[in-house]
Amino acid sequence: MQAAVIGQLKLGNYDLIFDDDGPVEAADVIAVTVVGPFDAPERIDVELYHCKYSKTAKAGGRVDDLYVVCGQAQTSIRWMSSGEKRSDLFTHLRRREAQRQNRGGSSRIERGDCALLETLREMSPTTRITMKIVIVQPGVSKAAIREPQLRLLSVTENYLTETYQLPFQVIIKP
């Protein structure tokens, strides 16, 4: 599923697309856009994509298909800290890339490079950062969505938007 998300993101104008899937991930996929010139950016826009497979092949109204991904979306707020800690996300991505490379694996960077990660880390303490949280769950069908799923999604959205002013988007089957 990450490959499909990354494929769609590559059609956009992102400066960095990072596949962070795995243990201790910030999100399955992270997309970053620097708004304005790199020497004096207006802001850094970060999108965190949390993706989960369905428990069954047919999309439907199972609330279990949303629990993990909604929990991951809610814990994403840790990357919105202020001050020096604002560089934590980019430090995390640099470390994850170095670990993969040291093990002889392929790069996690789908667009951009390690130099860009370092530039983002250096920019982040003094540049405004916006964040958007997106969950992708093809096991949920818009046509078959049920009340328990809607409640879980609304609690997640309320927590992210009311508490942290983070935009929240849900991508599901039609």
CA angle 54, 55, 61 (to 5 degrees): 75
Between CA 91 and CA 4 the distance in angstroms is 26
Q: For residue 68, give both structure tokens.
A: 């993990």
* pLDDT recorded at residue 148: 93
* pLDDT recorded at residue 87: 81
Residue 19's identity, in one-letter code, is D
Q: What is the largest CA-CA distance in the chain?
A: 49
* pLDDT recorded at residue 1: 79
Q: Which of 39, 40, 52, 62 is nearest to 2 (CA)?
A: 52
Report which secondary-structure segment, H or E, holds 119. helix 114-123
Q: How many residues can be counted in the chain?
A: 174
Between CA 168 and CA 131 the distance in angstroms is 9
Q: What's the domain range around 139?
A: 2-173
Q: Report the chain (174 residues): mean pLDDT per 10 consecutive residues.
A: 94 98 94 96 96 72 84 88 70 95 95 97 92 92 90 96 93 89
As for how many domains the chain has, the answer is 1
